[in-house]
Structure 1
Amino acid sequence: MEVEAGRPTWSRPVEFTLAGIGCAVGLGNIWRFPYLCYRSGGGAFLVPYLLMLVLLGIPLLYMELTVGQYLRKGPVHAMANVCPLLKGVGVAMVAISFIMCTYYNVIITWALYYLFSSFQSQLPWQSCNNTWNRANCTDRATNTSTSASTASQQFFNYRVLERTDGVEEPGSLRWELFLLLLLAWILVYLCIFKGVKSTGKVVYFTALFPYVILVALLINNVQLPGAASGIQFFIVPEWEKLLSVEVWINAAAQIFNSIGIGFGSLMAMASYNNFSNSVLKDTLAIAITNSMTSILSGFVIFSALGYMSYLQNIPVSEIAVDGPGLVFVVYPQAFLSMPVAPMWAVFFFFMLLCLGLDSQFAMVEVMITSLLDGYSEPLLSFFRRNELLVLAVCTGMFLLGIPHVMQVGIYVFQLMDHYTAIVSIMFLAFFEVVAICWLYGVRRLTSNLEEMMGRKPGMFFRLCWMVICPVLIVILVFSVIQFKPARYENYVYPAWAQGIGWLIAMASIIWIPLAALHTLWVLPGSFSEVIRRSVSTRPSTFLPRLSFTQPISKSLQSSVHSLLYEIHLNAKPVTHSQMIILTF
């Protein structure tokens, strides 16, 4: 770890790149992209998907990384400097990351359960001769009747979850899952308690290992009979589906949620970059790698599904399912048809563990960065050490995650995921784009990039920031307003549960109007003056371009620039050591 102007930085630029890839590439790449491709016309889905990547994903990621790296702050203080009126956008980013952290780790918990269950000669979901199986269990790869369910389905529902019939029945605590949830949070803590120093080292493994497993699985799967039919199902387009607005909305939403726009995670991690780090290079590396991973996952998943359809003589369309079932039901069933099934199961669920941990690192880092940016002195004086602060945050989120490891947990998980990862994030993204692209202004954002990189971004990015991205975000917001109510499989949540879901969604969004009212209340002057000041960036946001009378290295120029910025931004007296550096 290095320190630049009092703030730790990544030891090497590649550490941020890998951490960013780990943040973007997650469990959604494994199940959601292949399913959307299946539901939206196969290969035809790739057309809107790639267009949304170019017009929405890459420009907005470029924007977020620029703000984080230039201001060297987490989302809360960065957005407060960008636009005081919408400073609540940064608070909302932290709030949505906090809410997601409380339930996202349950996916890691399930992966740990399957991982430990796979260390035996016969996988526990291989037959229907177990104590948890119901009378309608079948060991075939798909249902043989409308009432039958596979052995893997029953293992997930009645052994792992022991789920009840609905959210109205909370049931009891699943102690096995409780202990695994505790283990999951211990793993997260051990990987991030030293800040970017520890995270930067862990990502060398957690970000790269999943690709080794995916490639190995693909090599194995494509050699199986029937794999070609599954791949054909995945890539052969149904061009008429392109006429459906839903397909385009799904493509945009997948890009949005997969990369993590609006969560503040990448903005927080970019704040630890060197001032002159190549933002565009990291943007392209993260966005393109994320999308290529989704496509690779599609080939892996559908080649396995093709093999299952060959064995059972059924269409692939009768096997593919949505939600966690694709990972925790269908793929475990596919392992049974593979040689050395327990070995592949161990590799696969360890890969899921790595993917889940990478995303969890990023969301926890948002909260830690924001807390230290705003309350560093009181927090460190109370906790004494940064490690204890991280421990307190992880402990709090572990306790809030306990409802997800009760028998009702899957219903709580689905409800929170629906209203947080879909509803909240769309509204949050709208206000983020308004704050940065319109109120802060594309001209200023361009000036910031030129200050760091020595050159302006191309006309394409400026056009996207000014027109294309805001228009696409508005379309997404209107689609959310007409969104279908949450459901899990055939279970429809009651009205009171839907109401709780909207309260969960508002728990993050409410900070935007509250912070705006606070800004208008505390600013002095007439109403017109208050409005003008509330949408204007703080004076410290822009610094004069530095010129040096003597040739010095680029790294030293970056350090001096960052030092001046910290002095202006924090309005603190220049220390003796800082004066020596500036004099030099």
Structure 2
Amino acid sequence: MANMAQQPADHPAGQPREQWSTRTGFLLAAIGSAVGLGNIWRFPAVAYENGGGAFLVPYLIALLTAGIPLLIMEYTIGRRYRTSPPAALRQMARPAEVLGWWQVAICFVIATYYAVIIAWAVRYVGFAADQAWGDDPEGFLFGTFLEAADEPGFVSGYVSGVVWPLIAVWIVVLVILAFGIRRGIEKANKLFIPLLVVFFGALVIRAVTLDGAAQGLNALFSPDWSELSNGSVWVAAYGQIFFSLSIGFGIMVTYASYLRRRADLTGSALVAGFANSSFEILAGIGVFAALGFTAQSAGVPVDEVATAGLGLAFVAFPTIISEMWAGGLFGVVFFVSLVIAGLSSLISIVQVVVSAVQDRTGMHRIPAVFGVGGAVAIVSILLFPTDEGVYFLDASDHFINQYGIALAALVGVVVVAWVLRKLPELQRDADATSAVRLGHWWRICLGLITPLVLGWMMIDSLRKEFDENYAGYSTDFLLAVGWSVAIGALLVGVVLSLIPWKAAGGGLIDLDMETAEEYESHHHKDDPGGKEDR
């Protein structure tokens, strides 16, 4: 039993599981995962459409009652079981393993198209330098650059201008992952996050000095307090917090599995949560200051130029760049920021898949990275740099977000809080090593507030889905590329959970809770002061 009890700290072939070298390294990686493309192009539009400055009230409440509590829960599960989401959930209860593999499948899907957007941003760094889009940024994006078909259908050609930067993105990501947690992911984020702060800070400073910036900022932050009585505004706030923190699909469980045993979980969640939200607000300032400049130049209200998503990044901002003095430099900084934010998030998404396969099969890191990560890359390269790629991306992203990430998170919190009733145990684990102790509020948030809000989000989303087809696409296309992707991820999770697990390096996966707790006792007896974590 003593030998078995030591297995949770072991990885394939009895090798010690990697650990972050410092708490700062873990925090930068967690922040890098959370701060992604959506922070830059989603938050400003959501805030603008939901009460402006008044939106910050439900947004901060959502952060404190759902975002940070969920972060703490995922950090605690990851550190307690020291393994990937499927194995961690299996140790909590064997049927729960389905949820872990569902999350892995979701990460696989997201990684395939997320890399393509980064590849677009890579090309736009060069396009910005000489403003290659000319007088028609939208026509340049969908026609000249993406060579998009007139409507969704069958793939009829590949776009070489997207293929090569996409291959380059995947090479960078896989090489970083191959170096491991400390020498790869941690070192990369120690470079990426400071660079992102510098580049995006410079962009915001330039944006707020533009003519018309005040008009844009007034449009964003002028509070409409009457919106606080609108239930959809509160749902939007919880949705934004949820989607922006990388919670619900295994990333934070995976990253926390490499933490030391005495790591401060609650404090880390507070730092990561507020850092992510601070960047979102900074992004809102930069984006709307720039949109204010465009609105004043065109002599129109800000609401006529305000947009989100791909339209903001690859149409609205090129328009702004073309109208600015020294716009090329502004554009280069903007698109380099997108590349950095995207890479740090993509690395974390692929790591979930790699870690799960390592724990499942006992593979060493390099074969797992280039085997599993390579498979993700191949699917990405085959499907998305095509004339139909932008349509595949749009539909897949919508359905895997709404009925993959959000639904998996809802099921996950219900299973942990209501079915398995693990919140008291997890709270004791977190409190044992955290400077900020959790009170009853944490269990109330996860047991009541978060499931109710996520449940309502799901009902509201489904109602809209059945009222009209997403983005006006045909039902056949949405069934083939949208619903099938979301449902397929769940089915893959079920199938993978039914495959018998083989012991990797000595039976890690088949440990029950009693054995894991014995390991904790054994470990702390050997290291009562938590010296290994200092």
TM-score when scaled to structure 1?
0.82
User: Is the Cα–Cα contact under 8 Å of residues 430 and 474 in structure 1 kept in the other structure?
Assistant: yes
- SS of 2:59's equivalent in the other structure is helix
User: Is the Cα–Cα contact under 8 Å of residues 40 and 283 in structure 2 kept in the other structure?
Assistant: yes
User: Is the Cα–Cα contact under 8 Å of residues 113 and 160 in structure 1 kept in the other structure?
Assistant: no
Matches of 1:43 and 1:109 in 2, distance apart?
34
Matches of 2:469 and 2:113 in 1, distance apart?
16
Match of 1:9 in 2: 19
Match of 1:170 in 2: 155
User: Is the Cα–Cα contact under 8 Å of residues 264 and 435 in structure 2 kept in the other structure?
Assistant: no
The 3 A distance-change label for structure 1 pair 33 and 476 is: same
Aligned residue runs from structure 1 range 308-347, under 5 A? 308-347=294-333
Per-residue deviation at 1:450?
A: 3.9
Aligned residue runs from structure 1 range 388-427, under 5 A? 388-401=367-380, 402-427=382-407
Match of 1:21 in 2: 31
For the pair 1:538 / 2:524, whether they are aligned, the reply is no
User: Is the Cα–Cα contact under 8 Å of residues 486 and 492 in structure 1 kept in the other structure?
Assistant: no
Matches of 1:488 and 1:481 in 2, distance apart?
11
> Equivalent of 1:126, from 134, 137, 145?
134
Matches of 1:345 and 1:455 in 2, distance apart?
42
1:103-155 per-residue CA deviation (whole Å, 9 max, x = no partner) reads 11011110011012234xx311233xxxxxxxxxxxxxxxxxxxxxxx11111
**Paired AA for residue 132 in structure 2:** P
- SS of 2:416's equivalent in the other structure is helix
1:481-519 per-residue CA deviation (whole Å, 9 max, x = no partner) reads 223369999x51111112121111112223566678889
Per-residue deviation at 1:457?
A: 2.2
Matches of 1:276 and 1:333 in 2, distance apart?
50
**Paired AA for residue 167 in structure 1:** P
The 3 A distance-change label for structure 1 pair 542 and 454 is: farther
**Paired AA for residue 259 in structure 1:** L
Per-residue deviation at 1:445?
A: 1.3
1:141-198 per-residue CA deviation (whole Å, 9 max, x = no partner) reads xxxxxxxxxx111111112211111112533110111111111101111222111021
The 3 A distance-change label for structure 1 pair 16 and 370 is: same
1:434-485 per-residue CA deviation (whole Å, 9 max, x = no partner) reads 2222214222212322444498522221222232222222222222322336
For the pair 1:75 / 2:85, whether they are aligned, the reply is yes
Per-residue deviation at 1:331?
A: 1.0
The 3 A distance-change label for structure 1 pair 441 and 404 is: same
Match of 1:213 in 2: 199
User: Is the Cα–Cα contact under 8 Å of residues 36 and 341 in structure 2 kept in the other structure?
Assistant: yes
**Paired AA for residue 458 in structure 1:** G
Match of 1:183 in 2: 168
For the pair 1:108 / 2:118, whether they are aligned, the reply is yes
> Equivalent of 1:445, from 420, 426, 438?
426
The worse-fitting range, judged by mean Cα deviation, of 457-466 and 445-454 is 445-454
Q: Which runs of no fewer than 5 residues in structure 2 stay unpaired?
A: 1-7, 11-15, 501-510
For the pair 1:34 / 2:44, whether they are aligned, the reply is yes
Matches of 1:486 and 1:416 in 2, distance apart?
19
**Paired AA for residue 367 in structure 2:** L
The 3 A distance-change label for structure 1 pair 112 and 480 is: same
Matches of 1:215 and 1:92 in 2, distance apart?
37
The 3 A distance-change label for structure 1 pair 241 and 208 is: same
- SS of 1:219's equivalent in the other structure is helix
1:269-299 per-residue CA deviation (whole Å, 9 max, x = no partner) reads 1111101011112101111111111111000
Matches of 2:239 and 2:523 in 1, distance apart?
44
The 3 A distance-change label for structure 1 pair 403 and 222 is: same
Per-residue deviation at 1:203?
A: 0.3
The worse-fitting range, judged by mean Cα deviation, of 510-519 and 20-29 is 510-519
RMSD (Å), alpha carbons: 2.6
- Higher-Rg member (1/2): 1
Matches of 2:168 and 2:56 in 1, distance apart?
38
Matches of 1:437 and 1:349 in 2, distance apart?
41
Structure with the higher fraction of residues in helix conformation: 2
**Paired AA for residue 366 in structure 2:** E
Per-residue deviation at 1:51?
A: 1.3
Matches of 1:269 and 1:431 in 2, distance apart?
21
Per-residue deviation at 1:375?
A: 1.0
For the pair 1:461 / 2:471, whether they are aligned, the reply is no
Identity %: 29
1:503-551 per-residue CA deviation (whole Å, 9 max, x = no partner) reads 11112223566678889xxxxxxxxxxxxxxxx9632232364698999
User: Is the Cα–Cα contact under 8 Å of residues 56 and 472 in structure 1 kept in the other structure?
Assistant: no
Match of 1:237 in 2: 223
Aligned residue runs from structure 1 range 144-293, under 5 A? 151-168=136-153, 170-196=155-181, 197-293=183-279
For the pair 1:304 / 2:279, whether they are aligned, the reply is no
- SS of 1:171's equivalent in the other structure is coil
Match of 1:568 in 2: none
Matches of 2:46 and 2:441 in 1, distance apart?
28
The 3 A distance-change label for structure 1 pair 538 and 170 is: same
For the pair 1:555 / 2:506, whether they are aligned, the reply is no
User: Is the Cα–Cα contact under 8 Å of residues 128 and 318 in structure 2 kept in the other structure?
Assistant: no
User: Is the Cα–Cα contact under 8 Å of residues 266 and 437 in structure 2 kept in the other structure?
Assistant: no
Give the number of equivalent residue pairs: 507
For the pair 1:478 / 2:464, whether they are aligned, the reply is no
User: Is the Cα–Cα contact under 8 Å of residues 203 and 333 in structure 2 kept in the other structure?
Assistant: no
- SS of 2:387's equivalent in the other structure is coil
The 3 A distance-change label for structure 1 pair 537 and 458 is: farther
Match of 1:387 in 2: 366
- SS of 2:18's equivalent in the other structure is strand
TM-score when scaled to structure 2?
0.89
Q: Which runs of no fewer than 5 residues in structure 1 stay unpaired?
A: 128-150, 381-385, 520-535, 560-584
The 3 A distance-change label for structure 1 pair 230 and 548 is: closer
1:29-87 per-residue CA deviation (whole Å, 9 max, x = no partner) reads 11111111122221122222111111110100110001001111111101111222222
